[in-house]
Amino acid sequence: MKIMVIGGGGREDAIIKKISENKNIEKIYALPGNGGIMGEATCVDIGAEEIYKARDFAVKEKIDFAIVAPDDPLAMGAVDILEEAGIKCFGPDKSAAEIESSKVFAKNLMKKYNIPTAEYEVFSEIDSAMEYVKTCKIPIVIKADGLAKGKGVIIAMDRDSAISAIKEIMQDKKFGDSGNEIVVEEFLEGPEVSVLSFTDGKTIVPMISSMDHKRANDGDKGPNTGGMGCIAPNPFYTEEIAKRCLDEIFVPTIDAMNKEGRTFKGCLYFGLMITEDGPKVIEYNCRFGDPETQVVLPLLESDLLEIMIAVREGRLSEDIVKFSKKSACCVVMASGGYPNEYEKGYEIKIGKISDNSIVYIAGAKRKDDKLITNGGRVLGLTAIDDTLEGAVSDAYDNIEKISFKKAYYRKDIGSKALIEAL
Ligand code: AMP
Ligand code: GLY
């Protein structure tokens, strides 16, 4: 089989490494891929958002199956366009991808179908939004409606920050048209859990739970990033919570999407908060998370490509998805300064990594056989062990064997989880 993977980050490296275990694959193309992905796949110079070019490439190369990983091409309708050209795909179509690409749609869906989430108001006029935040409860959360590279959520701890957030989004158009509408939402508290799930629109199979670490600095301080590290499983996601999530959130969401005529097929990601009133949805993503994928997929014991094909064909069943009982920890190594200004172009040196560890490359390119930094999040190192404690400690032992100038990583990935687990 010839496979095409759209995307070029650490998540795509993890997807490619996992599907490579399938014996029927003769070739994998990554569009655009990155300098680290080159081992398992042929990188093609077509950007993840150049979906018509991707379609033409897929038709020319007679691609048997395509995996659309990032949010932007999914929101742009990459799956619809590829399928129309006869290319079989893993991923939701444009109408189902709206569960991520429009927060207003997602919130209204949850309200209509009684799926637990934060209380909210939607505004399309700046004046009424301003009036509202003058009297609402503080802290308050302001969210741009559309995609904003993970930066469209502002937690305002006081009224002035809420007002400036609204101005930035609606007046200065910091996130372009994504800020034409905003969601102003109740501030929730509690541990966060990410649950990725496979669904073919009839069956939903949650994967092993995980915990992202979104803030740049130790102690969950500093600006939000794409994710600085991750652990799985998440000890806050107990069996009891998992059962409630399945009954109160996961299955109702699939049913709701069907009722709206937007059957979701692909990976549906639930960003959850375990509040005192029970689990609530913080966000939906219509794709695998990054860096969640880098801890979840190494623990998957089944054939990922077979699951993806079954999802597309509506043949998903619990039995074809098996996870190991082990734990994983991924520490992201970034260019110093990320998520703000950072330098790139430095050589990455990778020493001998232990057998229970994998390096996933994200922001790097190849130059004369050398791997050179080329982005904010440069790589992630995932270690697997029987215990979470072992996985965290091995991840840190191994990441020390990797170096590049101005490298930065958090030193406390997994520490909150370890306190809960012990
Ligand atoms: P999102 O991009 O929607 O995942 O939001 C980014 C982060 O903002 C989340 O991971 C949460 O930590 C935080 N967040 C989003 N919505 C809320 C909320 N209603 N209450 C508290 N924190 C939130
Ligand atoms: N790690 C969060 C995300 O992928 O959106």
Question: What is the best residue among 195, 292, 295 to mutate for testing ligand 2's pocket, by most ligand atoms within 8 Å of CB?
Answer: 292
pLDDT band at 260, cuts 50/70/90? very high
pLDDT score at 169:
94
Ligand nearest to the CA of 212: 2
pLDDT of residue 156: 94
- CA of 96 relative to ligand 2 center, distance in Å: 18
Residue 38 is predicted with a pLDDT of 83
Name residue 273's beta-bridge partners. Answer: 192, 280
Q: Identify the residues whose C-beta falls under 6 Å from ligand 2.
A: 150, 212, 227, 285, 289-290, 292
**Residue range 88-97, pLDDT digits in tens:** 999 999 999 9
With a cut of 90, say whether residue 378 has pLDDT above it: yes
CB 79 within 8 A of CB 6: no
**How many Cα atoms occupy the beta-carbon half-sphere of 175 within 13 Å?**
24
Stretch 302-317: mean pLDDT: 97
Nearest CA to ligand 2 atom 4: 289
Closest-lying ligand 1 atom to the alpha carbon of residue 212? 10
* Shortest-distance Cα residue to atom 5 of ligand 2: 289
Ligand 2 centre distance from Cα of residue 290 (Å):
5
Give pLDDT, residue 15: 98
- Which pLDDT does position 229 carry in this prediction? 98
Of all atoms in ligand 2, which is nearest to the CA of residue 230?
Answer: 1
**For all residues of the chain together, what is the average pLDDT?**
96
Rounded to 5 degrees, φ, ψ at 198 are: -95, 135
* pLDDT digit string, tens, across residues 149-190: 878 899 999 999 999 999 999 999 999 999 999 999 999 999
* 311 CA to centre of ligand 1 in angstroms: 29
Query: For residue 415, what pLDDT is reported?
Result: 96
380-398 average pLDDT score:
98
The arithmetic mean of pLDDT across residues 294-298, rounded, is: 98
In this structure, are residues 206 and 246 in contact, taking their beta carbons and an 8 Å threshold?
A: yes
Distance CA 354, CA 399 (A): 10
What's the whole-model pTM score? 0.96
How much is the average pLDDT of 16-29? 97
Q: For 372, which DSSP code? A: E
Question: What's the confidence (pLDDT) of residue 149?
Answer: 81
* pLDDT tens profile 95-153: 999 999 999 999 999 999 999 999 999 999 999 999 999 989 999 999 999 998 878 89
pLDDT category at 364 given cuts 50, 70, 90 is very high
Asked if residues 94 and 75 have their Cβ atoms less than 8 Å apart, the reply is yes
pLDDT for residue 168: 93
What separation in Å is there between the alpha carbon of 275 and the centre of ligand 2? 20
Residue 197 has pLDDT above 80, yes or no: yes
Q: How far apart are CA 103 and CA 396, in angstroms?
A: 36
